[in-house]
Chains A and B, each alone.
Chain A
């Protein structure tokens, strides 16, 4: 049984990830409606949840068209890359004690590697479309994601220093008493901002800024290939939320004043849900910055913050070692 566990879990993640992303498209629109004082999709089925099925039917039955001027093979390959990379990223997420596909001692680096590979999807999609809007979107995403990958990696160094390990299980275990969201508050802020930029969601969705680039890198995409991009984006959102909970909010541990009397998986999924709602709130509340503002925010604000965070964390750790 214990050998079958990872296989079963992988299948569950595969199906649950796709279903979760589909439901998330509806959930996000409803939640945006609440925060922006309007309804959102509310016609089909109870609370409008039938909208998910309607959208899927529409996307599935659309003509699967490749523009004649596009680079055919790369055009078809691009949307799969983001889905595969994001799905692979879930392999190291510890959902509950023993409930993860693999616990490797480089878990955190594996996650960073998979998110950095997801960049190719947007890049190649923009390039293969052979369309100037798509190309501009791809160019923007390349610069944006390569820059924010740097801060994403650096913001996690504090957590790794405090744990002394890249293994995500060790990181969760180290938060049994106090979550890292207090001691690593700077790392958390930078990681959230970098996470939005990496999954190129609003407010940082400049690769597909519709008022200036029509639809950015996926201008030429339609039907299921477009759906794959969307699936990848929502999988990225879920993956980033899982990582925020794992790295900064104690993973499967309950809040310290309530304790662990509810099942660990409940705490994990509840926290992930709250973080996803927070991301939707950000989307509803914050306008999109200009492209140069985004880049200068990264290099002039986020980079110094992360470096100071690493310096202070290291100094405090050494000081505490000296006391003990």
Chain B
């Protein structure tokens, strides 16, 4: 019973934070709301019996990816100019179309969910089970993901190396 109450509190927080994240003009405020939304989703994961997914949601999404988002915003340092542009982009004429289309999807989703009976299973999935299924039935997906990461790694190496070489050339030219 208590779990259901917690679930509804967490999902309300997640929904509200997401709406706020979409409507804020200031990028940093929007990001803080997005982080709150991710934390709320982590609580939901924990409640429906996936503590490992909950921990990873905090460590990776809230703790690493969002930090990089904040990092990029700090590098750009748009300030007031960025806020103004963001406010321009938030005109109803721009977001009305996608909003109507996603409302159709939402109605569909609600109908589908209301037809399935009974609650979601709440058997706790341990980290070991996650690992076994990752390297058992889903090993192909893991390998494909590692290839994707390798591509990213090679790409960033390439960009960084060219930069270094250019620096060295300039140094030599100076001497």
What are the 5 tightest A-B residue pairs by CB atom distance, in nearest-first order? A116-B63, A109-B55, A113-B58, A142-B71, A106-B55
Query: B-facing mask of A90-108, CB < 8 A → 1, else 0?
Result: 0000000000000011100
* Cα-based distance from A143 to B72 in the complex (angstroms): 11
In the assembled complex, 29 residue pairs joining A and B whose CB atoms fall closer than 8 Å, in A order, are A74-B28, A74-B29, A104-B51, A105-B51, A109-B52, A109-B55, A109-B127, A110-B55, A112-B59, A113-B58, A113-B59, A113-B62, A117-B63, A119-B63, A120-B70, A123-B70, A124-B70, A127-B28, A127-B70, A127-B73, A127-B74, A135-B74, A135-B77, A138-B74, A139-B71, A142-B74, A146-B68, A153-B59, A166-B127
B126 within 8 A of A: yes
Q: Does A149 reach chain B (CB closer than 8 Å)?
A: yes
Cβ of A71 under 8 Å from chain B: yes
Which residues does chain B contribute within 8 Å of A87, judged by CB atoms? none
The distance in angstroms between the C-alpha atoms of A146 and B26, with both chains bound, is: 24
Q: What count of chain B residues pass the 8 Å CB interface test?
A: 26
Q: Which residues of B contact A146 (CB under 8 A)?
A: 64, 67-68, 71
Q: Which residues of B contact A110 (CB under 8 A)?
A: 55, 58
Within 8 A of A (CB), among B52-107: 52, 54-56, 58-59, 62-64, 67-68, 70-71, 73-75, 77
Q: Which residues of B contact A145 (CB under 8 A)?
A: 67
Which B residues are CB-close (under 8 A) to A71? 26, 28
B-chain residues with CB within 8 Å of residue A207 when the two chains form the complex: none
Interface of B is mostly: helix
Q: Is B41 an interface residue (CB 8 A)?
A: no
Which of A114, A138, A142, A143 is most buried by chain B, counting CB atoms within 10 A of its CB? A142
Q: Is B64's CB under 8 angstroms from A149's CB?
A: yes
Number of A residues whose C-beta is below 8 Å from B? 32
- Please pick, from B52, B59, B127, the residue contacting A116 in the complex, using a CB distance under 8 A: B59
B35 at the interface (CB under 8 A from A): yes
Question: B35 — nearest CB in chain A belongs to which residue?
Answer: A120
Question: How far is it, in angstroms, between the C-alpha of A13 and the C-alpha of B151 when the chains are bound?
Answer: 46
Alpha-carbon distance A71/B27, docked complex (angstroms): 12
A126 in the interface, Cβ–Cβ < 8 Å?
A: yes
CA gap between A48 and B126 in the complex, in Å? 51
Contact A142 B28 (CB under 8 A): no
B32 in the interface, Cβ–Cβ < 8 Å? yes
Contact A106 B67 (CB under 8 A): no
**Does A74 contact B64, Cβ atoms closer than 8 Å?**
no
Instruction: Establish whether residues A123 and B55, one from each chain, have CB atoms under 8 Å apart when the complex forms.
Output: no
How far, in angstroms, from A126 to B29 measured CA to CA in the complex? 14
Q: How far is the CB of A78 from chain B (nearest CB, A)?
A: 10
Instruction: Mark interface residues in A128-172 (1 if CB within 8 Å of B CB, else 0).
Output: 100000010011001101100100010000000000101000000
Chain A residues with CB below 8 A from B70, complex form: 120, 123-124, 127, 142
Q: Is the CB of A123 within 8 A of B32?
A: no
A150 vs B108: C-alpha distance when bound (angstroms): 41
A143 touches B127 (CB 8 A): no
A143 to B56, CA, bound (A): 20
Q: Is the CB of B67 within 8 A of A120?
A: yes
Question: Knowing A117-B63, A120-B67 touch, does A74 contact B32 (C-beta < 8 A)?
Answer: yes
Asked whether, in the complex, the Cβ of A124 is within 8 Å of the Cβ of B28, the reply is yes
Most buried by B among A73, A113, A116: A113
Q: Which residues of A contact B74 (CB under 8 A)?
A: 123, 126-127, 135, 138-139, 142
